[in-house]
Amino acid sequence: MMQRLRRWALEIYAFLTAPFVVKNCLGMIGLCSFILLLTFWWLRCYTNHGESVQVPSYVGMSYREAAKKARARDFEVSISDSIYVLGKAPGEVISQNPKAESRVKEGRTIYFTVAKNNPDILKLPDLASGDDYDIYSRKLSLMGLKPRIVARVADPIAEPNTIVAVIYRGDTVTQKIRNGFKVEMGAAIDFVVSDKVLLNVNIPDCVCQTLDAAKFLIQTSNLNVGTIIPNGTVTNQGDAYVWRQSPAYDPNGLMRVGEQIDLWITQEKPADCSSSTAH
């Protein structure tokens, strides 16, 4: 048995040390080494191993200018999104990815978000009677709109900050919201809301005052100007006079803060007005 094993060992040794076997083995080892070295070299060149460049800031440039400068630094460029931003010129770069000052490989694609020319059109959320301004305004802010309170009206029944009226570009659109009223993104939406009735004030005497003077008296009394009713003589309200008011002036009368006074106006100063009245 031992002799047989020794013979096999000698035969294997003779085969492995044969010149043609050694030559072939060395050739295979050299070929494999060459292939591995070539592969590592290609990967190093392909990925720019160990090399990176800093990304400049392109925000605020026009897309054309940003793309030109980025390509000059061997970056690729692409527009990932376009949004409307109030005050931004169409095509202006708003943001970029990767961000400025980050380090990336050469040839990396820079993705730009740019401003577009026309704003998106948005539908105002449904508005129910008794809606609270704070809740509704948060919905508008999340949509990119700008809610603001322009007036408060005293209301003894409604909770404070209840929406009384919605105004868009000078028009009251409260009822139109129920039909899906649409506005431009970034637009200002004005609101009249309710306020607590906390104080009583004296009724101002507006009769014989000019309309502007009467409005000033009403507003400084923490009241609101109601309906203005001109008679047939009025051609210019700026020069008109108040000849009647409701509620009527009463030196002992009181009104709640925020209530309205209606005014009747005429073009000429009423004849029964005292000449000593200052206007």
Q: What is the pTM of this model?
A: 0.44
Is residue 191 located within the same domain as residue 210?
A: no
- Let me know whether 179 and 207 are in one domain: no
Residue-number span of the structural domain to which 252 is assigned:
200-266
What pLDDT is recorded for position 271? 86
pLDDT beyond 70 at 41? no
215 and 164 both lie in a single domain: no
Indicate if the pLDDT at residue 33 is higher than 80. no
210 bridge partner residues: 241
* C-alpha to C-alpha distances, 113 to 67, 74, 76, 82, nearest whole angstrom: 12, 20, 15, 5
Quick check: is 10 in a domain?
no
Same domain, 99 and 125: no
Q: What is the pLDDT of residue 14?
A: 58
pLDDT at position 82 is: 87
| Residue 58 in tokens | 């392109």
Decide which of 115, 131, 150 is a domain's last residue: 115
Q: Write down the pLDDT at residue 105.
A: 83
Q: Tell how strand 93-97 and strand 109-115 pair up.
A: antiparallel
Statement to judge: residues 176 and 127 lie in one domain = yes
Using an 8 Å Cβ cutoff, are 90 and 39 in contact?
Answer: no
Chain centroid to CA 243: 48
CA distances from 177 to 16, 168, 172 (A): 93, 11, 10
Q: What is the pLDDT at residue 18?
A: 60
Residues 255 and 206 in one domain: yes
pLDDT in tens, 73-103: 889 999 988 888 777 888 899 999 988 888 8
Do residue 183 and residue 219 come from a single domain? no
The pairing of strands 182-184 and 171-172 is: unpaired
Residue 134 sits in the same domain as residue 187? yes
Question: How far apart, in whole angstroms, are the C-alpha atoms of residue 257 and residue 32?
Answer: 95
Considering the domain architecture, whether residues 103 and 145 belong to the same structural domain is answered as no
Instruction: Supply the CATH number for residue 134's domain.
Output: 3.30.10.20
Are 136 and 190 in a shared domain? Answer: yes
Residues 70 and 93 in one domain: yes
Number of domains composing the chain: 3
pLDDT, tens digit, 9 for 90 and up, residues 250-260: 988 888 878 89
Query: What pLDDT is stored for residue 5 in this prediction?
Result: 65
Residue 104: pLDDT band (50, 70, 90) is: confident
Q: Chain-wide mean pLDDT for the chain?
A: 83
Residue 184 lies in a domain: yes
* 53-92 burial code (b ≥16 CB/10 A, e <16): eebbebeebbbeebbeebeeeebebeeeeeebbeeeeebb
Average of per-residue pLDDT across 67-71: 91
Residues 121-167 pLDDT 10s: 899 998 877 789 999 999 999 988 999 988 888 777 788 899 999 99
